[in-house]
Structure 1
């Protein structure tokens, strides 16, 4: 019988969350040298150089200055903020920064950072992360004022202790000419840290869908079941049952939920019933994409999960990023079959 994600209930000790703050496996080997800038987008080559300069400054900040007693204390950390559209290689650049910095160091999405603080508490989080040379935060989000202020306060404490911060965020498609406004939003929301960050624009088309056809047609239920049964390590879930199971798990456990899975199959997919369900699907999409797990579905197309009403609301960036990643995963599955 094919396994189901709905039958998995992973247990993740809170203290393990910090140890798991590393780049997704698909970025294990990336570097500035392996980043191929689009020749038609000079901002990409400029971002590579800015990343290299940040590493140099961040290393110096961590080394700090020698006191009159011969001891070294860290200088204030430095910051870099990479702003651009979906799929322009910002995560590749962020992981390249991570790989060049000394241990200990951390790499996590904005949501994962909030999960760490929620699990450990603010004071313990500062204590655990204050010895790090850098905190790399992918997909910094500004749509939840409470989370934004929490992370801003955390980063203020950490930079004062010599920890440098590298962050990425997305500008919506159609607003690529308005990157400065996105940067201004970011700097305004992190108020006390605005002087630390250098903002770098990264333009270009989404490489995940460059010159590719629209969303693949869903499989039939019969074909989906057959694919799951013949694929070792695959899971097969009904969409509604999976959504109900996700509601019982803290999002910090979604990474462990898909650990070791080779293919995720979901039947009877349909537009999300409400924002809560949709936001859980965003987190699951991120964890699947981070792990490079192919996705095959039956029912509606993957670019129809988030309704027009949702896409017009405050979580538009989240939903568009998730759609981009879900489509990429579905194409992984097509190639595998």
Structure 2
């Protein structure tokens, strides 16, 4: 009889070590902030032709037609800007005379009606080199001003044909005034503008109030914008099955171990880590991730934490990163008080986007 001791077979899945968001503290240089002002990966291939209007919402088809015409009207020659260290405008270039009519469009509508799809389609359809078009969220634009300074940002963007701003933050008065001043300088330089926005407290679902608020907050720029109302329901859930129920901790952990490039983090720990990383770096935080796996999802404890989570959800959605989770379902992340408060549209957008990403993650779990 052999006296040797049997060695148990090694489980390669059990030995795999997933990545961790909590271990990442990225540094984002200013030149990267400028270079990344293009539609994010989720919207890189969208076009007006790929937008599917709801047949019950004629405003959606009407918006496509207006935006196609707006893009075509931006086809005139533009003087090139002088170059800086970053390869972008250093001095204000002489711009062509602005055509008659509004130099901006504002897309007014609820979350999930395709405003970002249309905004990105406008960027793609505008007949200009990518270096003469800029696309970013309001947060990314304010981060750019913080990195370059106000005057340098004006010089950087003044040679552009078009600036698209997604999710204009009407609930941040200081930054709104800053960006309003920036847009005023850019309009003087002949830059065309396009924007979407969130709504002010208490205005969700109240018809055209979002447009009124937006035009008021950008002060003297109102005359430069044409408002396009886009009605409809959240396309992410239109005719689709409900999001999958949360999985067990074991299922999430094994899926993370079995998925190359996936991260695995405890949800409460991730929320604490987000407080140590500036939201402008959340995009870099998710670089090269194949999936985000979270255990022990719990209600978000306070509004500051909730708003940071909203930014992370936006960056994950932009980059099409699936999210697999255990614990509570995503529609229970935010308290009733939060969902009835001034930032409720942000929270509903985050729920909508995380739900879509949870649906994308179903294939990571083996039966």
Q: TM-score range by the shorter chain?
A: over 0.9
If the length of structure 2 is used for normalisation, what is the TM-score? Answer: 0.85
Equivalent positions of 1:228-247 (< 5 A) are 228-247=256-275
**2:75 equivalent to 1:75:** no
Per-residue deviation, 1:324: 0.7
- Structure 2 residue corresponding to 1:139, chosen from 162, 167, 178: 167
Distance in 2 between the 1:124 and 1:223 partners?
Answer: 50
Distance in 2 between the 1:298 and 1:9 partners?
Answer: 25
- Structure 2 residue corresponding to 1:96, chosen from 121, 125, 130: 121
Seen in structure 2, the aligned counterparts of structure 1 residues 119 and 155 have a Cα distance that, compared at 3 Å, is same
Contact 1:215 1:302 (8 Å CA) reproduced: no
Distance in 1 between the 2:169 and 2:207 partners?
Answer: 15
- Structure 2 residue corresponding to 1:298, chosen from 314, 320, 326: 326
Q: 1:33 — aligned with what?
A: 49
Distance in 1 between the 2:183 and 2:239 partners?
Answer: 39
Q: 2:216 — aligned with what?
A: 188
- Structure 2 residue corresponding to 1:262, chosen from 282, 290, 305: 290
Equivalent positions of 1:308-323 (< 5 A) are 308-323=336-351
Per-residue deviation, 1:58: 3.1
Equivalent positions of 1:1-337 (< 5 A) are 1-60=17-76, 62=78, 73-76=95-98, 78-101=103-126, 102-103=128-129, 104-170=132-198, 178-337=206-365
SS in 2 for 1:211: coil
Measured against aligned partners, the alpha-carbon deviations of 1:74-123 in whole angstroms (never above 9, x if no partner) come to: 23481000111121111111111111221311111111111111222111
Contact 2:68 2:125 (8 Å CA) reproduced: no
SS in 2 for 1:322: helix
Seen in structure 2, the aligned counterparts of structure 1 residues 251 and 72 have a Cα distance that, compared at 3 Å, is closer
Per-residue deviation, 1:190: 0.6
Per-residue deviation, 1:165: 0.6
Seen in structure 2, the aligned counterparts of structure 1 residues 62 and 185 have a Cα distance that, compared at 3 Å, is farther
- Higher alpha-carbon Rg: 2
Contact 1:61 1:75 (8 Å CA) reproduced: no
Per-residue deviation, 1:38: 1.5
Distance in 2 between the 1:171 and 1:36 partners?
Answer: 24
Per-residue deviation, 1:127: 1.2
The total of aligned residue pairs comes to 330
SS in 1 for 2:53: coil
Per-residue deviation, 1:15: 2.4
Contact 2:111 2:234 (8 Å CA) reproduced: yes
Measured against aligned partners, the alpha-carbon deviations of 1:228-269 in whole angstroms (never above 9, x if no partner) come to: 000111000011211121111111111111010001011111
* Greater Cα offset, 73-82 or 276-285: 73-82
Distance in 2 between the 1:136 and 1:282 partners?
Answer: 20
If the length of structure 1 is used for normalisation, what is the TM-score? Answer: 0.92
Distance in 2 between the 1:224 and 1:29 partners?
Answer: 31
Per-residue deviation, 1:214: 4.0
SS in 2 for 1:59: coil
SS in 2 for 1:194: helix
